[in-house]
């Protein structure tokens, strides 16, 4: 009996495997038909997609050419700008050096002028003002002497008060 049971179990197992294989076949056939339908629906779009891809490729090639031209022109502009900036830098440096030299000269000139003016002031004070003060003092002394000689011998109240204020 064990053999017949084993045989039955094997038959059932083989039948289940066959049914499983048949189910897989049906599922695969259904997928094949569905993919075929999708392929038929998308076939016209594939032609359009190819045209679009070709157009995009041409556009990219044209854009690449234009970018190369722009890059060349930009490099020329940058080179020219760099040369101009170096020229401007040299001019500014030269102008700065000249301005510094001129400022040094002006400073020396102003210092010399101030020294000369100070010398003239000192000379004027010593040469003109000092003798004028001496003459003024001499005239004041002579005036006081004549005032004393020609005045009355009695001092007035105003004169006495003035003399006292001078000593206070």
Q: Give DSSP secondary structure letters for 19-47.
A: HHHHHHHHHHHHHHHHHHHHHHHHHHHHH
For the entire predicted model, the pTM comes to 0.40
Inside any domain, residue 46: yes
Give me the number of domains the chain comprises: 1
Dist CA 46 CA 53 (whole Å): 10
Inside any domain, residue 31: yes
pLDDT tens-digit readout, 22-55: 999 999 999 999 999 988 888 888 778 888 899 8
Inside any domain, residue 99: yes
Inside any domain, residue 3: no
Domain that holds residue 17: 9-142
Inside any domain, residue 51: yes
pLDDT tens-digit readout, 135-153: 888 888 888 888 777 775 5
Dihedral sign computed on CA atoms, order 68, 72, 75, 77: negative
Per DSSP, the chain holds a count of helices (H) and strands (E) of 3, 0
Inside any domain, residue 157: no
């Amino acid at each position: 009996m064990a053999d017949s049971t084993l045989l039955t179990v094997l038959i059932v197992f083989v039948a289940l495997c066959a049914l499983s294989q048949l189910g897989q076949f049906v599922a695969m056939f259904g997928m094949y038909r569905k993919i075929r339908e999708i392929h038929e629906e998308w076939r016209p779009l594939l032609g359009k997609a190819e045209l679009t891809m070709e157009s995009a490729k041409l556009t990219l090639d044209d854009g690449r050419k234009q970018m190369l031209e722009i890059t060349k022109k930009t490099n020329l502009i940058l080179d020219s700008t760099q040369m101009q900036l170096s020229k401007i830098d040299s001019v500014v440096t030269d102008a700065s050096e000249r301005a510094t030299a001129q400022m040094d000269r002006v400073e020396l000139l102003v210092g010399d002028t101030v020294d000369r003016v100070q010398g003239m002031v000192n000379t004027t004070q010593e040469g003109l003002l000092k003798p004028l003060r001496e003459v003024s003092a001499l005239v004041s002394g002579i005036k006081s002497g004549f005032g004393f000689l020609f005045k009355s011998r009695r001092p007035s109240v105003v004169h006495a008060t003035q003399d006292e204020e001078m000593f206070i």
